[in-house]
Amino acid sequence: MATMAVQIAGSPDDIPLRTKLQRVERRRKLRAVSLVLPLLLFILIAFVLPIGRMIFNAIHDDTLLRLMPRTMAALNAWDGKDLPDETVYAALVGDLKQASAQKTAGAIAKRMNYELPGALSEVMSSARKASALSAGLYKEALIEINPFWGRHDAWSLLKRGRSAYTAFYLLRSVDYQYGPDSQIVTSPPENAIFRDIFLRTLGISIGVTAATLLLGFPVAYLLATLPPRSRNLLMILVVLPFWTSSLMRTIAWVVLLQDRGLVNDTLIALHVISQPAELIFNRVGTIVAMTHIQLPLTLLPIYSVMKTISPSLVRAARSLGAGPFYAFWKVYFPLTLPGIAAGCLLTFILCLGYYITPALVGGPADQMIGSFVAYYTNEDLNWGMASALGAILLSATLLLYYVFNKLVGADPIKVG
């Protein structure tokens, strides 16, 4: 050790070895970072920020706080028991007048309507009439104009609006909502649709994943065992669907499966059925079309794992006395599990987000959560709901992925 230290200290330029190493390392790291920087920025701008924004939108809504500042301030003093007192009503009239003048009454009305169906027209008409009110007993006057302002739940809603953060959208996404006294209650049946839709999304995704696995596994096996020339041909057939737009493929299924489509015509001509079977615009059509699109994505990871399994393993099993099926089941199949897991996970997660295909070939009862996100984003312009549904889907996906990784990550196969 001592001699080494002497040597280092005595090196010609007198720079310690460690410093030199750090310098070289730093240059290397800089180069590495500069290479990944464009992708990093892209992911940040196109992925992390929007998703962060979405999750934020799911819990953040300051419409009432922003557009009704007086009411919100006055409500601080309200104990939430009976109706608020005169000062609060005075503040409300002030806010309504301002809203009417600045044309923001619509936004307020819409926001309140989310939580209290029917509030839209009440608030709009009140805003219009409020401008006629002059000083006096605002409380009675307002309730006179519109009994809506005598409702306790309307005031609970406004009191909740004092915070820029709300759990309303998230609660609504899992079929809960605020009751008249701001307590959490289950949604009434006409609003309680989202649990079903999440379950439906889950069910369709599991169904499609299972279908792609059942169809894809034998093909992957064939691909992995064929001689190279025929393998290439089959491989082209497998990835061919990738080269067509998924919209085109979906529409092709409409052509095939509709009432007077190819499949029904053939079956009727063969006298298998007398009436056209309902093959499209229902669950069958949805699963068929989605399976078709997802098949290569399940198949390819399985194939790539199968290709690495040495044929001598099955031969070894056979030579040890195992029949063809036993050798396959005990030796080959367990080794394909990582591929099956990867392929199924990929397909399953992609299925969770399907939107166009169910919209085109499914019935009303086959729409998945993606359709509702699209509806709230594009038509209802309810970004809070869209974000909340999206956030729940995202967390469910991450949770599934985590559980999956726990299960597969601990798998002994990886050690081998």
Partner 1 sequence: MRAYPYDLDRARKKLQSIKRNIVVWSSTSAAGAGASGCTGEGRGSMPGMDNAFVKFSGVQKTYDGETLVVKNLNLDIARGEFLTMLGPSGSGKTTTLMMLAGFEAPTHGSLLLDGHSIDNVPPHKRDIGMVFQNYALFPHMTVEENLAFPLKVRKLGKLEIEARIKRVLDVVRLGAYGKRRPGQLSGGQQQRVALARALIFDPKLVLMDEPLGALDKQLREQMQLEIKHIHEDLGVTVVYVTHDQSEALTMSDRIAVFNEGAIQQLAAPAELYERPRNAFVAQFIGENNRLHGKVVAMNGATCKVEIAGAANVQALAINVEAGRPTVLSLRPERVRLNPMPGSLPNVFSAQIAEVIYLGDHVRIRASVCGQDDFVIKLPNSEGVAQVEPGAAIAIGWKTEDCRALDAQ
Residues near partner 1 (CB under 8 A) are 310, 312-313, 315-324, 326-327, 330-331, 334-335, 412-413, 415-416
Return the number of the residue (335 or 350) whose C-beta is nearest partner 1: 335
Q: Considering the complex, what minimum distance in angstroms separates the CB of residue 343 from partner 1?
A: 18
Return the number of the residue (38 or 412) whose C-beta is nearest partner 1: 412
Task: Give backbone dihedrals phi and psi of 367, rounded to 5 degrees, phi first.
Answer: -70, 135
| Structure token pair of residue 238 | 């497998």
Q: Considering the complex, what minimum distance in angstroms separates the CB of residue 337 from partner 1?
A: 8
Question: Alpha-carbon distance 93 to 404, whole Å?
Answer: 56
- Provide the angle, in degrees to the nearest 10, between the axes of the packed helices 333-352 and 283-307: 140
Return the number of the residue (240 or 407) whose C-beta is nearest partner 1: 407
Task: Give backbone dihedrals phi and psi of 174, rounded to 5 degrees, phi first.
Answer: -120, 25
Ordered DSSP codes for 68-79: -HHHHHHHTT--
Q: Considering the complex, what minimum distance in angstroms separates the CB of residue 408 from partner 1?
A: 13
Q: Considering the complex, what minimum distance in angstroms separates the CB of residue 172 from partner 1?
A: 47
CB contact set of 245 (below 8 Å; sequence gap of 6+): none
Q: Considering the complex, what minimum distance in angstroms separates the CB of residue 306 from partner 1?
A: 14
Task: Give backbone dihedrals phi and psi of 178, rounded to 5 degrees, phi first.
Answer: -85, 135
Q: Considering the complex, what minimum distance in angstroms separates the CB of residue 231 from partner 1?
A: 17
Residue with the two structure tokens 């280092």: 8
Return the number of the residue (252 or 313) whose C-beta is nearest partner 1: 313
Return the number of the residue (328 or 375) whose C-beta is nearest partner 1: 328
Return the number of the residue (220 or 331) whose C-beta is nearest partner 1: 331
Task: Give backbone dihedrals phi and psi of 61, rounded to 5 degrees, phi first.
Answer: -150, 110
Q: What angle do CA 168, 170, 171 make, to 5 degrees?
A: 65
Can you point out the beta strands (E) in 73-195? 176-178, 184-186
